Chains A and B, each alone.
Chain A
């Protein structure tokens, strides 16, 4: 499997080019910021009518990652839905999601976009601790062994920015997994302030690779 192997508080983790995080010892696949239902939310609020295919794109990507890793646990690290109303998915998307959930534990961590339980199977939690790791949506300064999302980190190398993982000895911040998600330049505060000196950014995409977060610009 292509990916970036690293350890956090003793847990052996694997960052995947899709933006998902794989914890083989626990059979756990974590994805963050799916933002399902984003285009319909924008439309509902009287905004523009974006191509309504982003749920299919995101679920297809998630489906492929689940097929590849066969996880026992799938953990969605918050902002899984663009808002709580967006969790009211179309019937075929709900069916697709149900099929993905079958036969495994499914955890919904709440995010700032989806602060509360949604009408879907699975466990709904504010945050979760498993072994030495804590999974929460927004990173907390000073925390250790923390896995979070929220910021949609991106970084530029030789061209337009690409989503990236940010990794140091205390935490990992996941890129957004959803199809229609923007991003925040990882070298700038508040993101850069969260990360310790020596942190690396692991770039996702066709040629994944690691580079230092600081001291490069």
Chain B
């Protein structure tokens, strides 16, 4: 057993601490080329990652950068710096620790480049920027170790793919670089290990003691959950009781809009004036920092939050996690539960609050999955090529490169290990010439080959490339500010589409307050305080996850039970009634119901394919129905079903669901859909086809660029085989369109369709009538709306 160096064992002893076995194991394997540690929150994971570094730096002989720490959050980098500086100072170690993020001042960043600290804490984007500089080889000259924190979260997004390309570059600059990944519990540690390691290096996986099983259950409320919707408002009194009973409670919601609405009503019901805050990604940085600071001081009894608190600062005082709405994904639920009780070996306590009747079943299935340690996760495909394009541009910023060398380097990154040379060359061609069928840019290539090496044709373009580094592409967001006073207090951000739907006088929720929309100025949404209690408009963006395949299987398993002693009576009775008047959906069959209701014909397809796939199914089916003259009027989709309404009954559903016909609809009509355009925008930004930020960008009312929709349509017309369209398609099929799950559903049921014709709405279909997010079908609908609105406005203005 490798002994802890003197100052360390003394320091542990003084605090009465014992080194954890996994921390010891990390020290013993300090020389491994790659190492992945899976540990629950509060397990001393970060210290385990840094112990070998501190040991190696203790004698003060190392010059320059030794260890690079990468975290997905800026706040986490700053937090770790504080937490690490304390023991280093107490032990009197000669180690300089600094963080570097987008918030670091220009002068500090300049100094860090000239004279790097021993330990640099940063984010994937800041690392990519550092690597784009000509002096990158000098900055990283002494580097020995890289520690990637929360790697499970990074591995789920393009940020992780970019990071792994950066690590491949680092390994080339400093051969022998050792990699360490720190991860929460995941379903497939081997996949994360392959993601992290330099291909084909081995990567050992260490497991810390997972600690005791969490103490979780479903919140009992007097009032049963409503039939539909997602806010969990009915549970507010019961949740307030729990907040009173605990020191600090985190109340998680699945979307920002739901968090806002819930917080608003929680505050109205908060008669004891318990200090409760709200935290989500659409709030201004100032607002988030205020809440974080209050939390650190221990001033808050509860925080209503979203995924923005899934990671990050270690708040030891949280003793209860409440999840409002079905968790959709068991792995995320387990990680959220881990936010409670950050002390090792104390069980985390969590309560699930189903937001509607169907979610009672879903929560029950999730609870069982957590108890069975049955985690889910959809495997990610190979590294996306838009990220690779950006990486090639970054490489060209730092130095001229040889294509063979860069290809060899890129394929040492786990996500790109299987990248073909042809695919690489296509990305390089895109970066150099645009990759168009019409070779229009021979004179104005972005990258030029000179003496066998690729470099920027115009060195000035490096600035714009650097300004656009990163793979986080939010929808276009507009800042929201209070009107008046110097600039007005920033409140947060809303999506442009939401802002466009507002007219002056509309009220909406942001940061827990009701505000009145006044107007748009300088790309800022101006609002004023509104004394009203009930916002008129309460919907803005927020990620909507689909229920995972694994969890869906469990739900279908539960539906197949003969009886449901585990479910509350109100839910069990509902299912029993459905079984009596219709069927319950089964894993190996597809239940389709059609019935008249509210003067319209309805068709309900219980595909259990997840929200995105059910939405796509709605788009494809209504399009086909339109073609067959069945006059569909609209549809709504949830994780488990799609409900379509129209003028005529569907007598035969099977032909509608013909696989070849669906696939054809996908190829032709769906390619022009808004979902595809949204995906294209992200891909085009990441690959460097369009710029989010431009040097010298004016803050005028003029759009800095024209709409990416125009570019998408132009490419489809003139260059349908273009790389950006291929990448867009791949990504949409896995993401927003999720056609893979429609195909998986068709595989699951084969031709076993149960199409029932019923005289009225069924128990399972009824809640769908109350769902939000109804999609009108007619393409003509918007045109009609425009004409009607214009006519009304003209009449009102006396101009008609």
Contact = CB atoms under 8 A, between A and B. Distances in A.
A185 B478 CA distance: 15
Contacts of A206: 783
Contacts of B690: 48, 50
B433 A49 contact: yes
Interface string A21-44: 000000000000000000110011
Given A46-B461, A182-B702, 20 more contacts: A47-B691, A48-B690, A48-B691, A49-B444, A49-B446, A50-B711, A51-B436, A51-B718, A53-B714, A53-B719, A54-B714, A185-B520, A207-B786, A207-B787, A209-B790, A211-B794, A212-B793, A212-B796, A212-B797, A217-B504
30 contacts: A40-B440, A45-B458, A46-B460, A47-B461, A48-B688, A49-B441, A49-B444, A49-B689, A51-B711, A51-B722, A53-B719, A90-B440, A152-B702, A160-B500, A180-B710, A182-B703, A182-B705, A183-B706, A184-B700, A184-B703, A185-B520, A185-B701, A188-B520, A198-B797, A210-B790, A211-B790, A211-B794, A212-B796, A215-B797, A217-B519
A68 interface: no
Contacts of B464: 46-47
A212 B789 CA distance: 11
Nearest to A161: B500
Given A46-B460, A179-B714, A198-B799, A40 B702 contact: no
Contacts of A54: 714
Nearest to B705: A182
B706 A53 contact: no
Given A51-B436, A212-B793, A44 B444 contact: yes
B557 to A, nearest CB: 43
Name the prevailing secondary structure of the A interface residues. loop
Interface residues of B, number: 58
Contacts of B789: 157-158, 211
Contacts of B787: 207, 209
Contact of A51 (B457, B719, B793, B794): B719
B383 interface: no
Interface of A: 39-40, 43-54, 56-57, 90, 152, 156-161, 179-185, 188, 198, 200, 203, 206-207, 209-212, 215-217
B715 interface: yes
A201 to B, nearest CB: 9
Contacts of A53: 438, 714-715, 717-719
B486 interface: no
B110 interface: no
Nearest to A90: B440
Contact of A156 (B457, B500, B504): B500
A157 B786 contact: yes
B799 A200 contact: yes
B434 interface: yes
A176 to B, nearest CB: 9
Given A52-B438, A158-B789, A43 B718 contact: no
A158 B792 CA distance: 13
Nearest to A181: B706
Most chain-A Cβ atoms within 10 A of its Cβ — which of B688, B706, B785, B797? B706
Contacts of A161: 500
A182 B689 CA distance: 16
B345 interface: no
A212 B791 CA distance: 10
A49 B706 CA distance: 14
Contacts of A188: 520-521, 701
Contact of A40 (B441, B457, B519, B710): B441
Contacts of B744: none
B697 interface: no
Among A44, A49, A56, A200: residue with most chain B CB under 10 A: A49
A47 B456 CA distance: 11
A43 B782 contact: no
B717 A203 contact: no
Contacts of B703: 182-184
Nearest to A199: B799
Contact of B444 (A40, A156, A160): A40
Given A50-B711, A53-B438, A182 B785 contact: no
Contacts of A40: 440-441, 444
A158 B786 contact: yes
